[in-house]
Amino acid sequence: MQSALEMQNGSHYRDAHLRIDFERRAAALDSKPLILTVKEFDLLAFLVLNAGMIVSPTALLTHVWGYSTEVRTRTLDVHLSRLRKVLRPYGDVYLERVFRVGCRFQPCGRELQMTA
Amino acid sequence: MQSALEMQNGSHYRDAHLRIDFERRAAALDSKPLILTVKEFDLLAFLVLNAGMIVSPTALLTHVWGYSTEVRTRTLDVHLSRLRKVLRPYGDVYLERVFRVGCRFQPCGRELQMTA
DNA sequence: GCGCGCTTTTACAAGACGTTTACATGTTGT
DNA sequence: ACAACATGTAAACGTCTTGTAAAAGCGCGC
B12 CA – D18 C1', rounded, Å: 43
What ipTM describes this predicted complex? 0.79
Per-residue model confidence (pLDDT) at position A108? 84
A3 pLDDT higher than 50: no
| Contacts (Cβ under 8 Å, ≥6 apart) of A114 | A11, A12, A13
Bigger pLDDT: A112 vs B102: B102
Q: Which nucleotide is nearest to B98 (CA to C1')?
A: C18
Name chain B contacts of A37, Cβ cutoff 8 Å. Answer: 99-100
Mean pLDDT of chain A: 87
Bigger pLDDT: B3 vs A102: A102
A97 CB below 7 A from strand C atoms: yes
What is the torsion angle, in degrees rounded to the nearest 10, for the CA atoms of residue A46, residue A49, residue A52 and residue A54? -30
pLDDT in tens, B25-49: 999 999 999 999 999 999 999 999 9
Band (pLDDT 50/70/90 cuts) for residue A13 is very high
Q: Distance between the two ends of chain A, CA-based, in angstroms?
A: 26
Say yes or no: A25 contacts chain B, CB-CB below 8 A.
Answer: yes
Bigger pLDDT: B52 vs A82: A82
DSSP H or E run through B19: strand B18-21
Per-residue model confidence (pLDDT) at position A23? 87
Least confident window among A2-16, A83-97, B55-69, B90-104: A2-16
What's the rounded Cα separation, in Å, for the pair B99 and A38? 9
**Å from B110 to nearest chain A CA?**
21
For range A11-40, the mean pLDDT: 93
A63 pLDDT higher than 90: yes
B101 and A37 in contact by Cβ < 8 A? no
What's the rounded Cα separation, in Å, for the pair B98 and B87? 19
Per-residue model confidence (pLDDT) at position B3? 42
Cβ distance A13 to A105 under 8 Å?
Answer: no
pLDDT in tens, A33-56: 999 999 999 999 999 999 999 999
Cβ distance A41 to A27 under 8 Å?
Answer: yes
B101 and A38 in contact by Cβ < 8 A? yes
Query: Looking at the partner chain, which of B53, B54, B100 has a beta carbon nearest the beta carbon of A38?
Result: B100
Instruction: Return the CATH number of the domain spanning residue range A12-104.
Output: 1.10.10.10
Domain boundaries, chain A: 12-104
Band (pLDDT 50/70/90 cuts) for residue A62 is very high
Per-residue model confidence (pLDDT) at position A113? 58
Low-confidence residues of chain B: pLDDT under 50: 1-9, 116
CA dihedral sign, ordered B8, B14, B17, B23? positive
Give domain B12-103's CATH architecture. Answer: Orthogonal Bundle (1.10)
What's the rounded Cα separation, in Å, for the pair A26 and A35? 8
